[in-house]
């Protein structure tokens, strides 16, 4: 399977992967995160872990568990780290610590390399048995709510390395060595490989999409950070100028108890708009997501906070014009006017929706640039190589 990537990234990249993996072959590696499905972290691990095994690595993936109270706490951590303000449930830190201990008793932590993803399982470091530990932070921590950050920072300081997705997320108040590694997409996955036009039409028809009308799409969780209400408002403004339709396509995640509350508010915002479709697809609806992105005239990612936003690269890979919020990791992917459009407001998003639909030649050129930008920077082989280089560094098997 891994050889197939050489057609996309070249033989040299595949060679580099095998050479760096050779240095780590006798070590055991564990990834830990908070959900098996839903969201970019689970999606990357679902693709990356089998590829790492194919490189000959001894790698496992474990998911922590918790009750609703725990995930309310970790969602409040997530929001407060990204927004700089906090509203924590009662006894939040105590609940967090309790579930770290529970999970430490259930997950074997005696691996040579442990990579912990995001804040939810970060506290497992307190139960470290051996090996080198790496904290992989996928969210924006550039302006955190200090009570939460200071609580977590003590744990971060016990790690051998920390990885963030963008330079702006790096912290100058921790001594743990930091690395910048943007996430990636898998161009050979069901979600990203080319699918026949007839499949695209069939899927869109199934979900009530008018095949003769321009389609605006946002693929995101129902999460305030993704600004679903702003996305609908941008569509409403744009529709005054061009007849079009909008599909907001989300899916549930077990570690996000806030999703239902956001969904209800979005339903209210869309009330009475016959050209707005709100869809909650089950996890692993990869073919459907592919069809919506492929069939879209414009893809929105109107986030107001974003760690990276894999859906941006996914759509760019399909040569789509993506209009993204100027936040977090989105500007790494969208170079304004070259590989897409960056916006700071609802009105800005509406303007570029109309502009894209009215200027198909410009859209085609931007789509072409977008795909090349993804090929050069955001494909899973590069991502995996950089992870292995950090692992080699912390285990003193090589320098990054």
Q: What is the pLDDT of residues 331-362, one digit of tens each?
A: 999 999 999 999 999 999 999 999 999 999 99
Point out which residues pair with 60 in neighbouring strands.
30
Phi-psi group of 377: left, alpha or beta (phi > 0 → left; psi -120 to 50 → alpha; rest → beta): alpha
**Residue 279: is its pLDDT beyond 90?**
yes
Residue 26: burial class (beta carbons within 10 Å; 0-12, 13-18, 19+) = exposed
SS3 label, residue 142: coil
Percent of the chain with pLDDT over 70: 98
Pinpoint the alpha helices (H) of 10-56.
11-22, 40-54
Position 37 scores a pLDDT of 80
Position 39 scores a pLDDT of 78
Position 284 scores a pLDDT of 83
Position 400 scores a pLDDT of 47
Cα angle: 176, vertex 178, 183; to 5 degrees: 140
**Cα separation values, 76 from 73, 296, 307, Å:** 5, 33, 16
SS3 label, residue 179: strand
Backbone angles phi and psi of 4, in degrees to 5: -65, -25
Question: From CA 38, how far away is CA 228, in angstroms rounded?
Answer: 17
Start-to-end Cα distance in the chain: 26
Position 1 scores a pLDDT of 85
Position 38 scores a pLDDT of 73
Position 177 scores a pLDDT of 97
Confidence band, pLDDT 50/70/90 cuts, at residue 83: confident
Q: What is the pLDDT of residues 172-209, one digit of tens each?
A: 999 999 999 999 999 999 999 999 999 999 999 999 99
Position 344 scores a pLDDT of 97
Position 254 scores a pLDDT of 63
Question: From CA 319, how far away is CA 327, in angstroms rounded?
Answer: 22
Question: From CA 184, how far away is CA 165, in angstroms rounded?
Answer: 10
Q: What is the pLDDT of residues 90-114, one digit of tens each?
A: 999 999 999 999 999 999 999 999 9
pTM, whole model, 2 decimals?
A: 0.91
């Amino acid at each position: 399977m891994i050889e197939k990537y050489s057609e996309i990234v070249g033989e040299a990249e595949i060679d580099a992967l095998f050479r760096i993996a050779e240095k780590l072959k006798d070590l055991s590696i564990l990834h830990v995160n908070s959900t098996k499905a839903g969201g970019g972290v689970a999606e990357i691990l679902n693709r990356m872990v089998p590829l790492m095994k194919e490189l000959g690595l001894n790698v496992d993936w474990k998911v922590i568990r918790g009750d609703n109270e725990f995930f309310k706490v970790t969602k409040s951590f997530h929001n407060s780290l990204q927004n700089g303000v906090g509203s924590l449930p009662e006894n939040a830190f105590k609940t967090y610590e309790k579930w770290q201990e529970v999970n430490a008793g259930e997950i074997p932590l005696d691996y040579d390399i442990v990579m912990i993803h995001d804040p939810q399982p970060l506290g497992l470091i307190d139960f470290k048995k051996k090996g080198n530990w790496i904290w992989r932070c996928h969210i924006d921590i550039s302006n955190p709510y200090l009570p939460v950050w200071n609580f977590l920072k003590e744990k971060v300081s016990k790690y051998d390395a920390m990885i963030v997705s963008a330079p702006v997320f790096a912290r100058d108040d921790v001594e743990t060595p930091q690395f910048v590694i943007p996430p990636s997409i898998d161009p050979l996955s069901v979600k990203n490989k080319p699918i026949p036009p007839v499949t695209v039409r069939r899927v869109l028809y199934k979900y009530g999409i008018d095949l003769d009308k321009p389609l605006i799409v946002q693929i995101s969780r129902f999460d305030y950070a993704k600004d679903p209400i702003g996305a609908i408002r941008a569509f409403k403004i744009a529709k005054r100028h061009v007849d079009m339709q909008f599909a907001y396509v989300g899916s549930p995640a077990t570690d996000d108890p806030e999703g239902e509350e956001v969904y209800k508010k979005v339903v209210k915002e869309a009330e009475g708009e016959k050209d707005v479709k709100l869809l909650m697809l089950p996890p692993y609806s990869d073919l459907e997501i592919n069809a919506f992105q492929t069939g879209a005239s414009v893809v929105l990612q109107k986030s107001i906070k974003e760690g990276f936003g894999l859906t941006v690269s996914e759509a760019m890979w399909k040569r789509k014009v993506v209009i993204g919020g100027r936040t977090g990791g989105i500007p790494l992917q969208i170079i304004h006017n070259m590989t897409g459009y960056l916006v700071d407001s609802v009105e800005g998003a509406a303007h570029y929706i109309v502009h894209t639909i009215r200027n198909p030649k410009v859209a085609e050129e931007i789509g072409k640039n977008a795909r090349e930008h993804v090929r050069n920077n955001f494909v899973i082989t590069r991502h995996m190589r950089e992870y292995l280089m950090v692992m080699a560094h912390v285990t003193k098997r090589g320098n990054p």
